[in-house]
Amino acid sequence: MTEVIVTGANGLIGSVFCDQLASSYNFCKLDISNPTKPVDITKADSIEEALKGSDAHFLVHFAAFTNVTAAWEQTDDVDGSAYQVNVVGTQNLVEICNQHQLHLIQISTAYVFDGEKPTPYSELDPINPIEWYGKTKALAEAVVQEKAEHWTILRIDQPFRPDRFTKLDLVHKIADDLRARTLSGQFTDHFVGPTWIPDFVKVIDWVLRTSQTGLFHASSGEQWSNFELAKQIQQIIGSTTQIQSSLLNEYLQSHNRPYQKNTALSTKKLIAQLDFELTPVVQALAQTQF
């Protein structure tokens, strides 16, 4: 089986990727919590050591500092873990990919945009991150685009799994809060582009199968307000809890952390080339175990 190197293989998305494609690829996991062979991507020699003897042609890079609020608390701190993992870690991987002739598949985010565009963002829209997590991911994208010899960048937004994971995704959080009757007011003026992780895994598999390079948006391509998404989840789980609506614009008046108002992504470029159809969010939610 073809060997594929993976960072962040134990995370929300990386773990689905490794499970779903376990019979197609042999995964070499660069894993910081491996008790015998930990690999910290912020340390170049630790990655180099782990790749000795590998004959892989691809490296799928999921590992990241993903806590947006914790990253915001580190704003402008280049010694902080958000910058170190997201930027320095990616720089290290780019160098190693170039040395080993590896095609780097970089997982990125809609948070590279400022969220001011009312409709889904295309790959041609200029990036303008408004908080530190988005800035570090934008810097990582720049390193990949400027320095990597073979690369693909896949941007996603609000990924959700078919099952429950230790780190809850947005749709499982909403379902839990509905059941516990603790769901706060849901924004009618905040829009997201949910990403069904099993489809996203198929998109990465498509890149592995076709060696496609370049920048692609790889969410569902749909745009949902938090309020409409919560109502859809409510219907699926059969909850009778009343969902209150609220406004991000009002919430922002008493909160300092910046929020993008819209992170939905257009997938027109992707679906023009993809050899399978993306699952509509309503169908994906119906397949989700809540």
Ligand X SMILES: NC(=O)c1ccc[n+]([C@@H]2O[C@H](COP(=O)([O-])OP(=O)(O)OC[C@H]3O[C@@H](n4cnc5c(N)ncnc54)[C@H](OP(=O)(O)O)[C@@H]3O)[C@@H](O)[C@H]2O)c1
With respect to ligand X, which residue has the nearer C-beta, 168 or 241? 168
265 DSSP assignment: B
Among 37, 164, 167, 209, binds ligand X (CB under 6 A): 167
Please state the closest distance from residue 240 (CB atom) to ligand X, in A: 29
Q: How far apart are the first and last CA of the chain?
A: 34
Please state the closest distance from residue 230 (CB atom) to ligand X, in A: 17
Is residue 152 at the binding interface for ligand X, with CB under 6 A as the rule?
Answer: no
- Residue 73's CB is within 10 A of a number of other CB atoms, namely 12
Q: Which of residues 97-116 bind ligand X (CB under 6 A)?
A: 107, 109
- Side-chain-facing half-sphere of 136: CA atoms under 13 Å: 28
- What is the distance between the alpha carbons of residues 62 and 191, in angstroms, rounded to a whole number? 24
Among 6, 7, 114, 233, binds ligand X (CB under 6 A): 7
With respect to ligand X, which residue has the nearer C-beta, 5 or 156? 156
Among 5, 12, 178, 207, binds ligand X (CB under 6 A): 12
Is residue 80 at the binding interface for ligand X, with CB under 6 A as the rule?
Answer: no
From residue 85, alpha-carbon distances to 65, 164, 208, 243 in Å are: 6, 26, 24, 38
Question: Is 5 exposed, middle or buried (CB count within 10 Å of its CB: 0-12, 13-18, 19+)?
Answer: buried
Is residue 179 at the binding interface for ligand X, with CB under 6 A as the rule?
Answer: no
- What is the distance between the alpha carbons of residues 180 and 167, in angstroms, rounded to a whole number? 18
Nearest to 260 by CA among 195, 193, 194, 190: 190
Determine contact, residues 158/222, Cβ cutoff 8 Å: no
Please state the closest distance from residue 242 (CB atom) to ligand X, in A: 27
Among 6, 14, 117, 207, binds ligand X (CB under 6 A): 14
Is residue 37 at the binding interface for ligand X, with CB under 6 A as the rule?
Answer: no
Q: Which of residues 210-269 bind ligand X (CB under 6 A)?
A: none
Please state the closest distance from residue 67 (CB atom) to ligand X, in A: 7
Is residue 42 at the binding interface for ligand X, with CB under 6 A as the rule?
Answer: yes
Residues found near ligand X in the complex (CB under 6 A): 7-8, 10-14, 31-33, 39-42, 62-64, 66, 85, 89, 107, 109, 137, 156-159, 167
